[in-house]
């Protein structure tokens, strides 16, 4: 015996419950650029009548551009595609907004710093110079020496602390270390300088100004950054690699040295570079620990030393006559600092490429 389904049921199966209108059009490739140009022209014309402002021009153009593209796409392409275009415009605008200050800083420092970017700036100190001329050789060497000493002290401590927290740390001690590392990450830099001053006042007396004091102050700021960056990189190493090493009878410390660290070396190098870049431009702790001198001093254990951040600060805050010569030296010192940080990032990438585990 056969049964036949009612025709109403067949129609219910064949017909979708909801009908979505289809819009077959697609915006031309040049459409968004044309809308952007039209929005910029319209906003620019209106602001020319009431008073032009670059920030208001950018904001109004972005809003008008987003609304116009959304409405046009809604009519031609449909609601879903219009929402997708609106979100894309919003994300792109947020990216450009975040990128604008960085580009502005780099361009400004580059244009103003090139005024004194000459061989004299890198080969002469300020000893006996009261006006134009001179250079920052003593400050460059002081920055490299003090930052190098801080890195030598901070990197081993940070690496070993991170390895302990990830591979060995359990219980109250590990939680206490993690807590204090988090606290140290957010301490003001002046506190690190005051700590170094108080520490050395116990051994050499008050009023001492030494390069090693600045290195210790920078080390206090650098250690927690190294710990946190290394800890996060070690955590993302797959446990399967450790278990495979243990299954072959390899000891724990050899597994860490031969398997875990090489796997995470790229991220560790980036974290160390970030830590060095974090402290190389610090001014406050170096003002009270190292001080300032116009002569060349390459011994961090004897007397004051000059550093680029302090040199730039004093050149701008306490200029001599003519003022332009001191301000130009301040901008060039800032440019040299940016170049040093860029060089450190390139070195970190090179280290990551050379020592990263090979996949083939």
Residues 56 and 151 in one domain: no
Res. 160: pLDDT tops 80: yes
Q: What is the mean pLDDT of residues 128-143?
A: 84
- Boundary (domain end) residue, out of 52, 80, 115: 115
**H-assigned helices in the chain:** 7-14, 31-50, 54-76, 79-113, 119-123, 137-163, 172-185, 189-203, 211-235, 239-247, 252-255, 261-263, 265-280, 284-289, 308-317, 323-355
Look over the chain and give the mean of its residue pLDDT values, rounded to a whole number: 84
Residue 162 confidence (pLDDT)? 92
Residues 93 and 130 in one domain: no
Give the CATH number, domain containing residue 245: 1.10.3720.10
Angle separating helix axes 54-76 and 79-113, nearest 10 degrees:
160
Does residue 21 belong to any structural domain of this protein?
Answer: no
Residues 94 and 212 in one domain: no
| pLDDT tens per residue, range 258-312 | 888 888 888 888 888 888 888 888 888 998 899 888 888 888 888 889 899 998 8
Residues 125 and 109 in one domain: no
Does residue 295 belong to any structural domain of this protein?
Answer: yes
Does residue 64 belong to any structural domain of this protein?
Answer: yes
Residues 182 and 289 in one domain: yes
Give me the domain span that covers residue 104: 27-115
- Boundary (domain end) residue, out of 74, 93, 115: 115
Does residue 200 belong to any structural domain of this protein?
Answer: yes
Residue 43 confidence (pLDDT)? 86
Q: What is the mean pLDDT of residues 225-240?
A: 90
Q: What is the mean pLDDT of residues 188-216?
A: 88
Q: Tell me whether the omega of the peptide bond preceding residue 96 falls within 30 degrees of 0, making it cis.
A: no
Residues 48 and 126 in one domain: no
Residues 177 and 67 in one domain: no
Residues 196 and 328 in one domain: yes
Residues 125 and 242 in one domain: yes
How many domains, in total, are found in the chain?
2
Who has greater pLDDT, 293 or 358?
Answer: 293
Residues 151 and 58 in one domain: no
């Amino acid at each position: 015996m056969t049964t036949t389904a009612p025709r109403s049921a067949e129609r219910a199966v064949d017909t979708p419950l909801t009908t979505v209108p289809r819009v077959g059009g697609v915006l031309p490739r040049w459409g968004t650029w044309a809308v952007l140009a039209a929005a910029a022209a319209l906003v620019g014309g209106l602001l020319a009548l009431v008073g032009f402002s670059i920030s208001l021009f950018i904001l109004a153009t972005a809003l008008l551009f987003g609304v116009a593209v959304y409405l046009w796409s809604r009519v031609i392409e449909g609601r879903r595609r219009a929402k997708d275009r609106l979100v894309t415009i919003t994300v792109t605008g947020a990216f450009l907004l975040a990128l604008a200050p960085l580009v502005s800083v780099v361009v400004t420092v580059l244009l103003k710093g090139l005024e004194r970017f000459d061989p004299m700036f890198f080969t002469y100190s300020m000893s006996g110079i009261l006006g134009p001329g001179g250079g920052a050789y003593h400050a460059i060497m002081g920055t490299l020496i003090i930052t190098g000493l801080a890195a030598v002290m901070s990197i081993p401590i940070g690496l070993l602390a991170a390895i302990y927290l990830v591979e060995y740390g359990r219980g109250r001690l590990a939680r206490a270390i993690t807590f204090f590392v988090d606290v140290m990450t957010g301490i003001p830099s002046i506190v690190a300088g005051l700590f170094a001053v108080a520490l050395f006042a116990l051994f050499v007396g008050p009023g001492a100004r030494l390069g090693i004091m600045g290195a210790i102050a920078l080390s206090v700021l650098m250690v927690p950054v190294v710990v946190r960056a290394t800890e996060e990189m070690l955590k993302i190493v797959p446990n399967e690699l450790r278990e495979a090493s243990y299954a072959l009878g390899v000891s724990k410390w050899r597994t860490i040295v031969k398997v875990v660290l090489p796997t995470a070396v790229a991220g560790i190098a980036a974290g160390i570079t970030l830590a060095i870049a974090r402290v190389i431009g610090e001014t406050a702790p170096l003002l009270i620990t190292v001080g300032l001198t116009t002569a060349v001093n390459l011994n961090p254990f004897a007397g004051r030393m000059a550093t680029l951040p302090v040199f730039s600060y004093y050149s701008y805050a306490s200029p001599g006559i003519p003022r332009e010569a001191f301000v130009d030296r301040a901008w060039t010192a800032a440019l040299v600092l940016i170049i040093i940080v860029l060089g450190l990032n390139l070195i970190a990438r090179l280290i990551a490429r050379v020592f990263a585990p090979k996949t083939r």
